[in-house]
Amino acid sequence: MAMNSQAPVVNVSGDFEEAILRWAKHLGRDKNRRAVFDLIYGRGSKPRSKKQIADLLGKTGSTQVVQNALDELAKHHLIVRMENKGHVKDGSRWVYVKDASVRANRNIIVKYADDPGAAKKVATKRRPAVETRLSFVKPVKRAGKPRGSRPRQSGKQARLKIALLVTNPDSRASLQTGVEARYIDEGIRLGSKAGEVDLKVVLAPTLDTLLDTLNTYHPDVIHFSGHGGGQNLLFDNEKAGDDGGTVLDFDMVARVVGATSATPKLLVLVACDTVDGADRFLDTVPAVIAMADTIDDEAACEFSKRFYRSLSAGTTIANSLDQAKLILESKGYADASLPTLVVRDKEFAQRTLL
């Protein structure tokens, strides 16, 4: 692929809602960006140059404003920028055309750009439409080890124990959480101190299995992979036949952690819109990594793999986070800025967990 060609990072068929909301977010309500967008998606399909667009908008004397809007729209795949190659006879190097997927969904993109509040109510893979009313599973007695645990075997005593909670209870918004678990396992194996890291995968966790994991495993890191939003996390149901999950708010999850003798050092929430209210967890854990907006599956998996690869090499929490975000940025993911570190003490972020 040529270096100057653009490859979309959004899988529209698999991440439709995320794609629509991301386009709406980056279209926004900026009047110059809107004017350029509306012109390109108006009548006709011929490529237009920056000069043509500026002339049509009456902004001949401020072409930099038009260029800024074009750059922003092209960066987020709302329009397509391509080499001129004789399309326009005004000496321009680049011309701009419609993106087929955006064109097909233009009305709904504009709708959510105009109304961000409505956009937040849309069900996505990692942020399903769930009621905010809390529901709780009834604890049941289990014999033996909690279902779904898979310890990592190593020759040394583990110095870093990671509990990976993999939950995907809503059939309306399925996630690739299994892929993320595999990516995390691969990332740890690539770390230079992998032998000192133990990974426990807890499948379909409920409130009860969360308590079991904290009481018996005493993890240093709790990683939640699943749905979130509105200061809630979506845990699994007790019964296999139930669909939709169990909503637990941040306060309840923090109280659960605080009610055990476990002393986690880090909580990682790979779920949409979990930064707001994340400081609630600082009463029980010194550091939290959460997502500032909707994150799609592919970006979540790539982030987790690099983060734990760095952490398993003895890298500090802050540097591991920065490295994971750099990998997302280098691969063209629009979600690179979403993972956010919230800490009780800034100095703790400069510590290594190994």
pLDDT at position 15: 62
pLDDT at position 232: 92
The model's pLDDT over 51-109, given as tens digits with 9 standing for 90+, comes to 999 998 886 557 888 999 999 999 999 999 999 988 899 889 999 999 888 888 888 89
pTM for the model stands at 0.65
What are the domain boundaries of the chain?
A: 16-119, 160-350
pLDDT of 327 strictly over 60? yes
**Residue 156 burial (C-beta neighbours within 10 Å; 0-12, 13-18, 19+):** exposed
What's 16-119's CATH class?
mainly alpha
The model's pLDDT over 332-350, given as tens digits with 9 standing for 90+, comes to 888 899 999 999 999 999 9
The model's pLDDT over 158-174, given as tens digits with 9 standing for 90+, comes to 899 999 999 888 666 66
Name which residue leads in pLDDT, 63 or 319. Answer: 319
Q: What is the DSSP letter of 144?
A: S
pLDDT at position 124: 65
pLDDT at position 277: 95
As a whole-number percent, the residues of the chain with pLDDT over 90 amount to: 55
**Residue 323 burial (C-beta neighbours within 10 Å; 0-12, 13-18, 19+):** middle
- The model's confidence at residue 153, banded by pLDDT at 50, 70 and 90, is very low
CATH fold for the domain made of 160-350? Rossmann fold (3.40.50)
- According to DSSP, the residues that pair with 150 across neighbouring strands are none
Name which residue leads in pLDDT, 191 or 140. Answer: 191
The model's pLDDT over 268-305, given as tens digits with 9 standing for 90+, comes to 999 988 999 999 999 999 999 999 988 878 889 999 99
pLDDT of 18 strictly over 80? no
pLDDT at position 132: 41
Residue 252 one-letter amino acid: M
Mean pLDDT of the chain: 84
Q: Which of 295, 259, 331 is nearest to 9 (CA)?
A: 331
Q: Identify the weakest region by mean pLDDT among 54-63, 120-129, 251-260.
A: 120-129
* Mean pLDDT of the 247-251 span: 93
CA 301-328-335 angle, 5° bins: 80
Q: Do residues 270 and 224 touch, judged by C-beta distance below 8 A?
A: yes
DSSP 86-131: TSSSS--SEEEEE-HHHHHTHHHHHHHHH-HHHHTTS--SSS----
- The model's confidence at residue 135, banded by pLDDT at 50, 70 and 90, is very low
The model's pLDDT over 218-237, given as tens digits with 9 standing for 90+, comes to 999 999 999 888 899 999 98
